[in-house]
Structure 1
Amino acid sequence: MKILRAAGLALLTASAVALSMTTASAHDPDTAEGQAAARTFLADHLPAERHAVVGTAAGVPCVNGKADIYPCKNVDLLSVLPLSGIGGGNGNDIWGWTDPSSGKEYAIVGRTNGTAFVDVSTPTSPRYLGNLPSNGGSSSWRDMKVYRDHAFIVADMISGHGMQVFDLTRLRTITTPQTFTTDALYKEFGPAHNIAINEETGFAYAVGSNTCSGGPHIVDIRNPKSPVKAGCVSQDGYTHDTQCVLYRGPDTAHRGKEICFNSNEDTLTVVDVTDKAAPVQIARKGYSGAQYSHQGWLTEDQRYFLLDDELDESRGTDKRTKTYLWDLASLADPVHTGVYNSPATAIDHNQYIKGHHSYQANYQAGLRVLDISGVASAKLTEVGYFDIYPAGDSANFNGAWSNYPYFASGIVLVNGIEQGLVVVKPDLDAVEPPPPGGKFENTDDVAIPDAGAAVTSSVTVSGVAGNAPATLAVTVDIKHSYRGDLVLDLVAPDGTSFRLKGSSSDSGDDVRATYTVNASAEVAAGVWKLRAQDVARADTGFIDSWNLQF
């Protein structure tokens, strides 16, 4: 999100201001577009909720798609600590800290009026330890990260806020909630939208500040209580969010360097910040469908980057939540390889990758967990979710702002704008029961190239014992200008293929038909594929959806 000020009044707006405007006008405090966007964001604002949940020792399990009042899949609820119990205001960003001496886990919870610290080492009974008040006023945008047992906190829209530094080891002895003071305050910038920290090098990157043209303001925090300015990245202007790493990825020309991957409103911008006094822009790439490049995260091998765009759902014709996939084999030439379309229709916000899962906080759709093991072929799969905003699933600014998935215990923290701290535990190895009626479906659009190689769309079958039936129903919906050019096969988990032959019911344009195959020799559970190939020229299409009916 971004901030504009109109007619002398402080107004809050989503980063949607960038739409239909130049970057310059998006930053202009007096544009009509900025004022209208501010009104839109404020119209979504709802009072903080007071729904507290303290689970049993095992939490509140996700059963039949619900945990307490919350829709869920493969994610159990452990507790909910409302904003009224952690200092009030509304929620925004969140991070975590593990005490190296005790192994205890703590939540650092951003709010409009300060930062709350919560002991979540017993996640079914979180314990509020106290509040660090905002430095100079309230802000809907507060962000924090951790380095060497210190929290570094910034806030947007507050002219003199700076970067607060808080020694987290002070939490070890707290028995009753406290009002804390900072251990240090960095004043080389005032407001800042976000902060990233490279824990390997000890440098912080404040973005969206009133310095460095809004680009990363680099701070040396190796001595946490004595931060020192180290440089600016201003070549590409305003940066909304960034991830900066010591690069170990596939591009040998840049291994060992410190590289930042910036979400810069309409591009993915890659910058070498090894020399803090003289950063070098390596690449600046736009992508089809861009509306507002918001935030993204690298896969652990640093080969791929998953980017979320905050405005494509509200402005595009396709309302499904989207994740943009990038191949970074060459840092100088990032390649946009595809888009994952979620079944949800909410705005995506912050995502973080742990192992082969991306944990996404997608506003009204809540926490969504994606299996990214197929990212090389631009295929992601949703394997779990926990919807903290049951009232809706639309493109509005309510619900899950961010999440933190990096605790060794496996718990995940979610901070809700209205809900407060929600502690959950994914069970991503759970075996799902078969869906009602035994129908397994894929609704991802897969393009079929003209006279090109075969493409596939996958369906994972689980919870079905034994072999498939002798009358396995395969229903397909394919948009294609001439059915006669298509060759369609169903491919079983072991690679056996079954030709889906045309008939009078699916001749002409498009394929909307149900086929029956004898798959009784095949084990039901596993990954089944619909394979499609166009074998003549002049026609293209795409697999719209298909399903297996057991």
Structure 2
Amino acid sequence: MKKNLLSPLLSIICILFCNCSRDDTSGNEQIIEMTNQGVIPCENGIAAGKYPCKGYDFVSHITLEQMNAETGNDSWGWTDPVTNKEYALIGLDNGTAFIDISIPESPRYIGKLPTATVSSSWRDVKVYNNTAFIVSEAKGHGLQVFDLTKLRNAGEATTFTADVHYTDFGSAHNIVINPLSGYAYVVGAKNLNGSQALYNGGPLFINIQNPLVPKNEGGYAEKAYSHDAQVITYNGPDPGYIGKEILIGSNENELAIVDITDKSNPIAISTISYAQVGYTHQGWFTEDMKYFLLGDELDETREGFNTRTIIFNMEDLDVPQEHMMFTGTTSAIDHNGYVKGNLFYLANYQAGMRVIDISDIANKNIAEIGFFDTFPTSNAADFKGAWNVYPFFKSGNIVISDINSGFILVRKKMIKI
């Protein structure tokens, strides 16, 4: 009885003073809400009546049909620095969708930037300086550059046009951006007619410091095709590379570490591989840059593993070492993974999003602590389900882009008081 009397007062206090949530920069978010506000909690291992879950609640969903698309793929996020509204950018077979999630339980589909040429199952989008940069494996697609501030005053189901269509390359598998340097790195690129890989599929260097005037500054071809990469301004434990711009390329059968500070003279630092390589796919540094967590996309199907993450010690970039392997709880294929604080968020295809605690990674002690399975019918090793997860919003909202289901928004389970 006393709890019922206090609840309205607590709700008012929350609205006035705490905005119902906080972001813990350690990556271990604790979201406190006084009222449900439409979020469907994960209870007894299920959310919204169908999604297996642990520790993460269902917030909202926009289907592929609502976005007039056949399949989903990549995703990223943007927070408007003027309005503080959050937006999800969802890659689709026929374009890139923009979703206003400032009211997370009632997301608004603003519209779509159609593909530059033809539809493709592969699209990748990143954000720099309030601008989206989009590539695709569609033949002749090039780079679409889109001013995200247009979303502030847009209606619903708008068809947008790119501000710039950069065509110094055609198709590409991925784009990586280092926000500290203002450079974009396009990997797995071909020429406009698709007949030839550019720089052997290695990274192209594009200066985007003026986002609407991208400049070609060459590329790097000494190593093999790069499927994905992370590029950082190094501030880790190896004193010889402090302040350098370092690329870690996931190059099909190995990691390649390259100093790309001088775009006219990239310098190979080292390479490292590992046992039973399937396909070296994508990885991400821990925030202290001591460790690199790598996903292999084909080892589950070729070698019969459960989901496997290979972790490298990067304290000496000249001599990286394998640190440990982490095996997940299902046979599902791992795809893209990102580190925020002490948590590793993994898009795990048919197993959905998995969340792994890496706070004791130095002692080889990491563990899965939560998940939200967007593909409820199976955890098999197949290319369906969660393609990407974007965990970097300060609000704690987490975007999952699903090949079969479209856009799904989740957040860490609420603690009700």
TM-score by length of 1: 0.67
User: Is the 1:144–1:154 Cα contact (8 Å) retained in structure 2?
Assistant: yes
Q: Where do 1:313-352 residues align within 5 Å?
A: 313-317=300-304, 319-352=305-338
How far apart, in 2, do the equivalents of 1:208 and 1:375 lie?
Answer: 31
**Aligned-partner residue type, residue 335 of structure 1:** Q
Matched position secondary structure for 2:65: helix
Shift of 1:427: 3.3
Matched position secondary structure for 1:213: helix
Q: State the superposition RMSD in angstroms.
A: 1.3
| Partner residue in 2 for 1:241 | 228
How far apart, in 2, do the equivalents of 1:58 and 1:374 lie?
Answer: 35
Which of 345, 361, 373 is residue 375 of structure 1 equivalent to?
A: 361
| Partner residue in 2 for 1:310 | 297
| Partner residue in 1 for 2:287 | 300
| Partner residue in 2 for 1:417 | 403
Residues 429, 303 of structure 1: alpha-carbon distance in 2 compared, 3 angstrom cutoff: farther
Matched, 1:155 2:136: yes
Shift of 1:341: 0.6
**Aligned-partner residue type, residue 127 of structure 1:** R
**Aligned-partner residue type, residue 159 of structure 1:** K
| Partner residue in 2 for 1:124 | 105
How far apart, in 1, do the equivalents of 2:320 and 2:68 lie?
Answer: 43
Q: Where do 1:353-502 residues align within 5 Å?
A: 353-427=339-413
Shift of 1:378: 2.1
Shift of 1:212: 1.3
User: Is the 2:173–2:189 Cα contact (8 Å) retained in structure 1?
Assistant: yes
How far apart, in 1, do the equivalents of 2:77 and 2:238 lie?
Answer: 31
How far apart, in 1, do the equivalents of 2:333 and 2:376 lie?
Answer: 15
- Detail structure 1 runs of 4+ shifted over 3 Å in the superposition: 427-430
User: Is the 1:87–1:131 Cα contact (8 Å) retained in structure 2?
Assistant: no
User: Is the 1:165–1:183 Cα contact (8 Å) retained in structure 2?
Assistant: yes
| Partner residue in 2 for 1:100 | 81
How far apart, in 1, do the equivalents of 2:257 and 2:414 lie?
Answer: 33
User: Is the 1:365–1:393 Cα contact (8 Å) retained in structure 2?
Assistant: yes
Percentage of matched positions with identical amino acids: 47
Q: Where do 1:255-266 residues align within 5 Å?
A: 255-266=242-253
TM-score by length of 2: 0.88
**Aligned-partner residue type, residue 386 of structure 1:** F
Shift of 1:57: 1.6
Shift of 1:58: 4.0
Extract unaligned runs of 5+ from structure 1: 1-54, 431-550
Deviation by residue 1:163-187 (Cα, 9 ceiling, x = unmatched): 0000000000012221000000111
| Partner residue in 1 for 2:149 | 169
How far apart, in 2, do the equivalents of 1:321 and 1:171 lie?
Answer: 38
Matched position secondary structure for 1:296: strand
**How many matched pairs?**
374
Higher relative contact order (CA 8 A, sep 6+): 2
Which of 85, 90, 96 is residue 109 of structure 1 equivalent to?
A: 90
How far apart, in 2, do the equivalents of 1:267 and 1:99 lie?
Answer: 37
Matched, 1:59 2:39: yes
Matched, 1:287 2:274: yes
Matched position secondary structure for 1:83: coil
**Aligned-partner residue type, residue 310 of structure 1:** E
User: Is the 1:384–1:428 Cα contact (8 Å) retained in structure 2?
Assistant: no
User: Is the 1:93–1:110 Cα contact (8 Å) retained in structure 2?
Assistant: yes
| Partner residue in 2 for 1:185 | 165
User: Which structure has the greater CA radius of gyration?
Assistant: 1
Shift of 1:428: 9.1
**Aligned-partner residue type, residue 350 of structure 2:** Q
